[in-house]
Structure 1
């Protein structure tokens, strides 16, 4: 399955609390994604919390756009990626 890097912009900053409410919000996103065969692997959040860089597995970029709309999440860009690790060369 293809892997993608999704960049998202949050002008007011990402506001997911580090508590049960935040866990519930993330679980809800995972559930909506699963219904469309999309898997959120992990995300990186900028220090100012205005950008996220998320790693997803999905059959196509359009599947990611669809679940983003259902989850009320912005999508700035979607780029298909592969893993490059320095340890591959050892």
Structure 2
């Protein structure tokens, strides 16, 4: 199944409290459960004003559906073409 990186512009997201991240995560997981196993959230990276979320899904439209149902922005959705790390240099 394809992997995607979703960029979400959320002003001040890096300043949220742990309890706020918990609520956001619970909302996302609830919608994912409703949508079924074809879409999975792997992890997210939080910066000052953006999150970068990694998902597995059949297509970008499924990710947009999750964003809409969750109430989260999905400003950019990019398909992952390759994954590299320091061992790639060996």
Q: Could you state the TM-score of these two structures normalised by the residue count of structure 2? A: 0.81
SS in 2 for 1:73: coil
Of the structure 1 ranges 64-73 and 32-41, higher mean CA displacement relative to structure 2 is found in 32-41
Q: Could you state the TM-score of these two structures normalised by the residue count of structure 1? A: 0.81
Q: Where does the alignment leave 5 or more consecutive residues of structure 1 unmatched?
A: none
Q: Distance in 2 between matches of 1:16 and 1:34?
A: 24
Q: How many correspondences in the alignment?
A: 86
Instruction: Specify which structure has the higher proportion of helix.
Output: 2
Match of 2:41 in 1: 40
Q: Distance in 2 between matches of 1:60 and 1:40?
A: 13
Q: Structure 2 matches for 1:1-90, cutoff 5 A?
A: 1-10=1-10, 12-14=11-13, 16-19=16-19, 22-36=21-35, 37-46=38-47, 48=48, 50-81=49-80, 82-90=82-90
User: For residues 47-87 of structure 1, what are the alpha-carbon distances to aligned partners after superposition, in whole Å with 9 as ceiling and x for unaligned?
Assistant: x2x11111000010000000100000001110000321221
Contact 1:16–1:25 (Cα < 8 Å) also in 2: no
